[in-house]
Structure formats: structure tokens, C-alpha cells
């Protein structure tokens, strides 16, 4: 398949993504469609595990474009993001030219003379051939348009954002020893952020923005059914319902979509075939859905007794550093405030405020 230049409509995009088993909300589809049609970078923010990275790889697959991925981390620098000189290759090249260099320098008597003569010659060491390209330069140099994924951009320092901005705004990369490479094709750029820090306004200004949240139960059922087709639909519905119940609790870490997919697969392995059987394997499913001891304790208490009492207040010495969660959980002690608290937590989760 030759790389797609644009999708005709949000609906066409939705269909192409569905063929890659990516389920997209109509509102989200419009924004992705716009980003591709306008060739504007798309910034996706939201909690971990809601399908941000997957959108980029599915978009690449759906459009026949190659995915070029820059995984961000603290300490990421130009050498990992843009390019590095391949010193090993340059050294080999010099070794091979040894005889020619010997001839060139014959007749010189001092070091200064030899050095001056060498400088008049182009050894060809600083050319594209000796560059180790990293994702940003790779995307710019690619003759076929690619999808450039800048993943978890919130993990880098702000200085990296400045470099990104330059590449995104100018669609070019300057290598001082060679000159400026202008984009040979315009990449579709997807940036993701897990919202651990505020990104610079300058970066945001360059991008279209979409806040990806947890899906509705209907949408999540569709996602899980596509990703785990071996699981009975009734079981998928039950697992998704459990996950949504859990996301309403003031947890330290709400179950992500990938964890719900894992739980559904686990349910099938444990022999569940029809609706209403979840109760008997619930402890095992919680192992797939929750990853903190304190979250598990809280969930078990809340699921066992939806009418919370004072026992719901987190115990001293729990491994929960998140004081906001503790405070919300504390409110459950006050009888009917429970449902308000859990709804507030659900709202926060939907907005991606809790990670
Ligand atoms: N809309 C979706 N359609 C299909 N699968 C999805 C969707 N959202 C999430 N997933 C599943 O969840 C997994 C985790 O998503 P991922 O993109 O890694 O999350 P994020 O980058 O937001 O942390 C994916 O590998 C995929 O299996
Ligand atoms: Mg991701």
C-alpha cells in the first residue's frame, strides 16, 4: 500500500482505524482527521493506558505510513533525538585513506605545515553518509511520508521542547557541519503526554490538542471485544462493568484499558463463559486490574459493602503517598458522602486527573 496523503473524512479515518482494531470516538476522529488534513502536529494528553500511543501506531498502519518513534525520557538529548556522528565509521574511513593522506602530506616537515595542508582537502568525513540518524532527522529525511510519534513528551526537560519546536515549526534540521535538511516529505506528528507536567505554551500553540480519557462502557466493551475476541461477549461486559465500578473509587491508579483487556483474557482462561460468573474469580481479576496493595484493599472493601462505614478510611502506614486520594477516601466515612466522593473521583478519572 502506498502511503496515504489524507483521509477523505473522519468517517473514512474511523473505518481505516477499525480495520486495525482501533476504536475511535467520533469527536476524536474529527480532530485526528483535521491534524492529518492540515498536517498539524497532534498533541494527545491523558492518563496512561487510554490508547494515545496506540492511536499513532494504528494511524501509521491504517495509512500505510512507516511509524518513526521517539520515546522521550529524562535526559534525552540531541544525540538521541536528532543525529550523532558515527565516529567509528569516520575512523574506518580515515584508516582506508591512510595511503592517500601519506602522499598528500609528503614533503611537509612540520606538524603545522601538515595540518594546514590537510585542512585544504575535503576528506568527506562530514557528510550525510557518516550521520547516525535518530527519529527526528529520520522523519525529516524520509522520502516517503511517515507518522512521527513523539511519545511521553512530558518526561523530557523543557530544553527538549525547544528542539522539538524548531523541527515541528520549520520542518527542517540544521547540521552545522553540513547545512540544513528540509523535510523531504511532511510527517504526520503525534505527541503524547501522560500529563505529569504542564507542557510549554509554545509547544501547545503549534499543535492541535485532544484530551483522551477513559471510554464509556459501550466503547470499552467494543475495544476489549476487538482486542480479545476469544472472550465471550457476556464476560467482556461483566469485566468492563467491574472496571468502571473500580474507576469510580478513589484509587491511586485506575485500571487502564490494557489492564481491562488483560482481565478479560484472564476471565476466559479461568473458564468464564457466561454472564454473572465474575464474583467467583474476582480476586484473580483484581490482580490484573489493580497494582497497589492499598487500592486492592479499598476495592475489596467497597465491592463487598457498597454502603461504606468508618472502616473505609485508609489505614496508617498504607503505601499511598497520594494525599488527595486519602482525603477523598476519608470522606467516605461520612455515610452518604460516599457516592458523592466516588462520583467526584470518577469525574477526575475521566478527565485524567489521577494517575
Ligand atoms: N481506542 C482503542 N482501540 C483499541 N485498543 C485500544 C484503544 N485504546 C487502548 N487500547 C488498548 O490499550 C492498550 C494500551 O494503550 P496505549 O496506547 O499504550 O496507552 P497510552 O499510550 O495512552 O498509555 C493498547 O495496546 C490497546 O491494546
Ligand atoms: Mg503511551
C-alpha cell belonging to residue 91: 575512523
β-strands 66-71, 146-151 pairing: parallel
Long-range Cβ pairs for the range 77-80 (8 Å, 24+):
77/160, 78/163, 79/134, 80/134
Contact between 346 and 338 (Cβ < 8 Å)? no
Tally of residues, the chain: 355
Do 155 and 304 share a domain, yes or no?
Answer: no
Cell 487510554 maps to which residue?
50
Torsion angle of the four alpha carbons 91, 178, 134, 146, in this order, in degrees rounded to the nearest 10: -140
Question: What is the phi/psi pair of residue 332, to 5°?
Answer: -65, -25
Counting ligand 1 atoms within 8 A of each CB, the residue from 16, 212, 258, 262 with the most, and so the one to mutate, is 258
The minimum-distance atom of ligand 1 relative to the CA of 212 is: 22
Q: Which atom of ligand 1 is nearest to the CA of 50?
A: 22
CA atoms of 311 and 313, how far apart (whole Å): 6
| pTM tops 0.85 | no
Q: Of all protein residues, whose CA lies closest to atom 11 belonging to ligand 1? A: 258
Q: Looking at the structure, tell me whether residues 305 and 336 fall in a common domain.
A: yes
Tell which atom from ligand 1 comes closest to the C-alpha of 44: 22
Q: What's the pLDDT score for residue 333? A: 30
Q: Among 152, 177, 211, where does a domain finish?
A: 211
Successive 10-residue mean pLDDT values, the chain, 355 residues: 80 97 97 96 96 98 97 93 92 87 88 88 86 94 95 92 87 88 93 93 94 96 97 97 96 96 97 90 96 96 67 40 35 34 45 42
Residue 1 inside a domain? The answer is: no
Give the E-state strand segments of the chain in sequence order: 42-45, 66-71, 83-85, 131-133, 146-151, 172-175, 179-182, 188-193, 208-211
Q: What is the largest CA-CA distance in the chain?
A: 96
Q: Are residues 138 and 54 in the same domain?
A: yes
pLDDT value, residue 263: 97
- Same structural domain for residues 110 and 195? no
In a domain, 321, yes or no: yes
Q: Helix axis angle, 233-247 relative to 217-227, nearest 10°? A: 130
Burial (Cβ within 10 Å: 0-12, 13-18, ≥19) of residue 101 = middle
Q: Is 64 within the bounds of a domain?
A: yes
pLDDT at 4: 67
Q: Do 111 and 231 reside in the same domain of the chain?
A: no
Let me know whether 166 and 196 are in one domain: yes
Distance from the CA of 23 to the center of ligand 1, in angstroms? 9
Out of 167, 187, 211, pick the residue that ends a domain: 211
Last residue within a domain, chosen from 144, 176, 211:
211
CA distance to 161, 200, 203, 207, 233, per residue, from 168 (Å): 10, 14, 9, 9, 43
CATH code for position 154: 3.40.50.300
For residue 3, is it within any domain? no
Name residues whose C-beta falls within 8 Å of residue 164's C-beta, 6 or more positions apart in sequence. Answer: 81, 136, 150, 153, 191, 203
**How many domains does the chain fold into?**
3
CA 105, 109, 111, 116 torsion-angle sign: negative
Is 181 within 8 Å of 172 (Cβ atoms)? yes
- CB count within 10 Å of CB 137 equals 22
3-state SS class at 90: helix
- 47 close to ligand 1 (CB < 6 Angstrom): no
Contact status, residue 131 vs residue 81, Cβ threshold 8 Å: no
Q: Are residues 288 and 189 in the same domain?
A: no
Distance (Å, whole) CA 173 – CA 136: 8
Range of the domain at 223: 217-351
Identify the residue whose C-alpha is closest to ligand 1 atom 20.
49
Quote the pLDDT of residue 123: 77
Distance CA 193, CA 85 (A): 30
Name the residue among 14, 41, 16, 44 with its Cα closest to residue 30.
Answer: 14
Q: Are residues 207 and 222 in the same domain?
A: no
Residues 154 and 234 in one domain: no
Amino acid at each position: 500500500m502506498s502511503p496515504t496523503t489524507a483521509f477523505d473524512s473522519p468517517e473514512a479515518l474511523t473505518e481505516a482505524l477499525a480495520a486495525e482494531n482501533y476504536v475511535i470516538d467520533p469527536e476524536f476522529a474529527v480532530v485526528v482527521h483535521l491534524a492529518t488534513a492540515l498536517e498539524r502536529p497532534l498533541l494527545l494528553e491523558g492518563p496512561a493506558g487510554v490508547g494515545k500511543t496506540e492511536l499513532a501506531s494504528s494511524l501509521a498502519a491504517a495509512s500505510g505510513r512507516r511509524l518513526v518513534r521517539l520515546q522521550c525520557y529524562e535526559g534525552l538529548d540531541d544525540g538521541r533525538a536528532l543525529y550523532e556522528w558515527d565516529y567509528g565509521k569516520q575512523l574506518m574511513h580515515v584508516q582506508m585513506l591512510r595511503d592517500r593522506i601519506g602522499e598528500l602530506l609528503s614533503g611537509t616537515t612540520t606538524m603545522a605545515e601538515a595540518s594546514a595542508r590537510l585542512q585544504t582537502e575535503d576528506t568527506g568525513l562530514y557528510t550525510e553518509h557518516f550521520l547516525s540518524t535518530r527519529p527526528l532527522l529520520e522523519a525529516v529525511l524520509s522520502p516517503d511520508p511517515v507518522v512521527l510519534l513523539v511519545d511521553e513528551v512530558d518526561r523530557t526537560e523543557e530544553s527538549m521542547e525547544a528542539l522539538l519546536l524548531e523541527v515541528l515549526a520549520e520542518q527542517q534540521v540544521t547540521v552545522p557541519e553540513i547545512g540544513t535538511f528540509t523535510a523531504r516529505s511532511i510527517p504526520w506528528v503525534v505527541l503524547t503526554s501522560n500529563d505529569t507536567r504542564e507542557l510549554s505554551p509554545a509547544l501547545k500553540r503549534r499543535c492541535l490538542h485532544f484530551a483522551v480519557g477513559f471510554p464509556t462502557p459501550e466503547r470499552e466493551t467494543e475495544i476489549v471485544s476487538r482486542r480479545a475476541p476469544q472472550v465471550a461477549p457476556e464476560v467482556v461486559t461483566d469485566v468492563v462493568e467491574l472496571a468502571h465500578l473500580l474507576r469510580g473509587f478513589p484509587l491511586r491508579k485506575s485500571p487502564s484499558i490494557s489492564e481491562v483487556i488483560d482481565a478479560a483474557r484472564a476471565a476466559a482462561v479461568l473458564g468464564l463463559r457466561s454472564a454473572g460468573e465474575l464474583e467467583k474469580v474476582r480476586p484473580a481479576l483484581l490482580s490484573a486490574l489493580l497494582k497497589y496493595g492499598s487500592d486492592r484493599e479499598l476495592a475489596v472493601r467497597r465491592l463487598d459493602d457498597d454502603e461504606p462505614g468508618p472502616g473505609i478510611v485508609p489505614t496508617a502506614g498504607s503505601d499511598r503517598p497520594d494525599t488527595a486520594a486519602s482525603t477523598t477516601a476519608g470522606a467516605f466515612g461520612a455515610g452518604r458522602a460516599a457516592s458523592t466522593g466516588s462520583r467526584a473521583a470518577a469525574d477526575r478519572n475521566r478527565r485524567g486527573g489521577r494517575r
